[in-house]
Amino acid sequence: MFTQSLADLQESCLLRKLHRTESAQDAEVTIKGKAVILFSSNNYLGLANHPKLKEAAITAIRKYGFGSGASRLLSGTMSLHEQLETRLAHFAKTDAALAFNSGYHANLGLIQTLTQELSPHGLVLADRACHASLIDAIRITKSRFKVYQHQNTKQLKQLLATHTESEKTSSLVITEGIFSMDGDITPLPKLLTCIEQSSSTLLVDDAHGIGVMGATGRGTIEHFNLEAKIPIRTGTLGKALGCVGAFVAGPHDLIQILINRARSFIYTTAPPPAFAAAALAALTILEAEPERREQLWRNQHYMLSNLKSLGYNTMNTESPILPVLIGDPSRTIQFSQQLYERGIYAPAIRPPTVPRGTSRLRISMMATHQQAQLDYALDTFRDVGRSLGIIT
């Protein structure tokens, strides 16, 4: 039944396969029996295998068991869930927060609820490079939907002005804090100016900013010192914090309406209490060990500057996400495979994850990458890139 579709994907070099990791998540892992330096993980601060996270989860399992047994509105809300949500609200400097099973769940539930409450027949605008979970969430609402060109605040301003004049209804503008495939930072001050002039609402999905951006790791909104002006955001616990799940932070009334309206929250089994215990431990480490974030940025600066010196196109990244633009999916796969053979794991990113003609490697930096690992990786990128004619 699916043979032809799979053959078409294979023919166009777009067929994806799972790659089995056989060790704990760290700067070096074992994939299919081969030890490789890992450059594909969102474990930016190296917390996924931290002893304190493991200890916190084990302690919670011993006390509460593993499964939560029910949805949050039945008997699945446990004390650790509430402790985590109180801590997340304090972390985000908002009135309240609500934990979700994943970033996908959080975005689905929040966007559906916002469009119902703010403007059931209004306009939703999103940056063209937004994550699939944001786009999917918008598509299943009844709202009209338009994308604006990536980072093009001038076009966004024009779209908002036209809508405000003709429809007299509010709009919802959606963006990522750090764009997950390009690594660039959204210009939040400019976006906020557009929003304020049109009386619209801005939603920031800061999945890749939490733990990484800002003076204390609170994310992209802190980076721009806009926490008092942008009250609604989503964030993840499964990237820099090394755990799983996600959260929405915002006004108290928003959180209460999500509890009552967000289908992706209501109709799913609550995450295990151990997840909340580990996330609480991760937040403590984030606040107590700023040197982790500092080391992450030292590694980022070193790797990025050297990749540029080698002649690679790293696009406009400003984050620990370092895209290496190749273009053709076949060459990108070949590049990734040769890196793997030499002990570097950096998977090929191809359409539909990125636009056609922009296939790339997506290098993710971690605080736990050692200098020798970075130097070996750069030497390998130089040799393989030259052998394939990608650089000279």
Residue range 184-215, pLDDT digits in tens: 999 999 999 988 878 789 999 999 999 999 99
d(CA 309, CA 320): 17
Q: For position 119, what pLDDT does the model report?
A: 64
Residues 195 and 202 sit within 8 Å (Cβ to Cβ): yes
Quick one: three-class SS letters along the chain?
CCHHHHHHHHHCCCCCCCCCECCCCCCEEEECCEEEEECCCCCCCCCCCCHHHHHHHHHHHHHHCCCCCCEHHHHHCCHHHHHHHHHHHHHHCCCEEEEECCHHHHHHHHHHHHHHHHCCCCEEEEECCCCHHHHHHHHCCCCEEEEECCCCHHHHHHHHHHHHHHHCCCEEEEEECECCCCCCECCHHHHHHHHHHHCCEEEEECCCCCCCCCCCCCCHHHHCCCCCCCCCEEEECCCCCCCCCEEEEECHHHHHHHHHHCHHHHCCECCCHHHHHHHHHHHHHHHHCHHHHHHHHHHHHHHHHHHHHHCCCCCCCCCCEEEEEEECHHHHHHHHHHHHHCCEECCEECCCCCCCCCEEEEEECCCCCCHHHHHHHHHHHHHHHHHCCCCC
Question: Smallest Cα–Cα separation from 249: which of 90, 72, 79?
Answer: 90
Q: Chain-wide mean pLDDT for the chain? A: 95
Mean pLDDT of 211-238: 96
- What percent of the chain is modeled with pLDDT above 70? 97
Mean pLDDT of 96-104: 98
Q: For position 246, what pLDDT does the model report?
A: 98
- CA-based torsion, 147, 148, 153, 158: positive or negative: negative
Contacts of 11 (CB under 8 A, 6+ apart): none
* Other Cβ atoms closer than 10 A to 116: 15
Mean pLDDT of 22-34: 94
d(CA 381, CA 269): 44
Q: For position 161, what pLDDT does the model report?
A: 85
The residue written with tokens 């040799």 in the block is: 383
Residues 60 and 185 sit within 8 Å (Cβ to Cβ): no
Tokens of 347: 């998977």
Q: For position 14, what pLDDT does the model report?
A: 87
For domain 51-288, give the fold. Answer: Aspartate Aminotransferase; domain 2 (3.40.640)
Mean pLDDT of 154-168: 79
Tokens of 13: 């070099």
Q: For position 164, what pLDDT does the model report?
A: 65
d(CA 198, CA 162): 10
Q: For position 170, what pLDDT does the model report?
A: 75
Question: Can you give the residue ranges of every domain in the chain?
Answer: 3-38+290-387, 51-288
165 pLDDT band (50/70/90 cuts)? low
Q: For position 348, what pLDDT does the model report?
A: 96
**124-143: pLDDT as tens digits:** 999 999 999 999 999 988 78
Q: For position 388, what pLDDT does the model report?
A: 96
d(CA 128, CA 140): 17
Instruction: Answer whether residue 245 shows pLDDT above 80.
Output: yes
**348-378: pLDDT as tens digits:** 999 999 999 999 999 999 999 999 999 999 9
Q: For position 195, what pLDDT does the model report?
A: 87
CATH superfamily membership of 3-38+290-387: Aspartate Aminotransferase, domain 1 (3.90.1150.10)
Q: For position 129, what pLDDT does the model report?
A: 96
Question: Smallest Cα–Cα separation from 251: which of 108, 94, 99?
Answer: 94
- What percent of the chain is modeled with pLDDT above 90? 88
Mean pLDDT of 302-306: 98
Active site residues per annotation = 42, 131, 176, 180, 205, 208, 239
145 forms bridges with which residues in the sheet? 124
168 pLDDT band (50/70/90 cuts)? low
Residue 226 vs residue 13, higher pLDDT: 226
Residues 326 and 332 sit within 8 Å (Cβ to Cβ): yes
d(CA 120, CA 349): 36
364 φ, ψ (degrees, to nearest 5): -110, 125
Question: Smallest Cα–Cα separation from 350: which of 3, 81, 9, 1?
Answer: 9
